[in-house]
């Protein structure tokens, strides 16, 4: 149980295009999902908290108009990188918080590697 999927696992795009990444909790409901990015040999940096049915909460320094988040259902959150540039190339990972958990357990997807040419 507690499986989170991400799609696509890898994407290469041209500068200026938009890329959508999906995060799904496959066997549990997740009112709250989180989006992180990770640079090589560095830890995960929280970008935003995605709440089902409401606006996402962005961390300081993260442009909400560039990283659009939609959490339309209890099992799906999407991150759209708009007008991507080479500096947006990174490993993007989502996590889903188990709604019924009292320990704030969060389960991670396998990540999406974005390369912007």
Partner 1 sequence: QKEVEQDPGPLSVPEGAIVSLNCTYSNSAFQYFMWYRQYSRKGPELLMYTYSSGNKEDGRFTAQVDKSSKYISLFIRDSQPSDSATYLCAMSAAYTGRRALTFGSGTRLQVQP
Residue ranges binding partner 1 (CB under 8 A): 2, 4, 6, 32, 34, 41-44, 46, 49, 91, 93, 95, 97, 102-111, 113
Q: Which residue lies nearer to partner 1 by CB, 16 or 110? A: 110
Q: Which residue lies nearer to partner 1 by CB, 14 or 41? A: 41
Write the DSSP string, 18-79: -EEEEEEESSS--SEEEEEEE-TTS-EEEEEEEETTS--EEPTT--TTTEEEEEEETTEEEE
CA distance 56 to 33: 9
Shortest distance, position 4 Cβ to partner 1, whole Å: 8
Q: Which residue lies nearer to partner 1 by CB, 48 or 116? A: 48
């Amino acid at each position: 149980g507690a499986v989170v999927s991400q799609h696509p696992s890898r994407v290469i795009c041209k500068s200026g295009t938009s890329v959508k990444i999906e995060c799904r909790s496959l066997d549990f409901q997740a009112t709250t999902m989180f989006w992180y990015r990770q640079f090589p040999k560095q830890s995960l940096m929280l970008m935003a908290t995605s709440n089902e049915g409401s606006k996402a909460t962005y961390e300081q320094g993260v442009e909400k108009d560039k990283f659009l988040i939609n959490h339309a259902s209890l099992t799906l959150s999407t991150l759209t990188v708009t007008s991507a540039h080479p500096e947006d190339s990174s490993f993007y990972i989502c996590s889903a918080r188990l709604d019924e958990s009292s320990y704030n357990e969060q389960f991670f997807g396998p990540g999406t590697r974005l390369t912007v040419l």
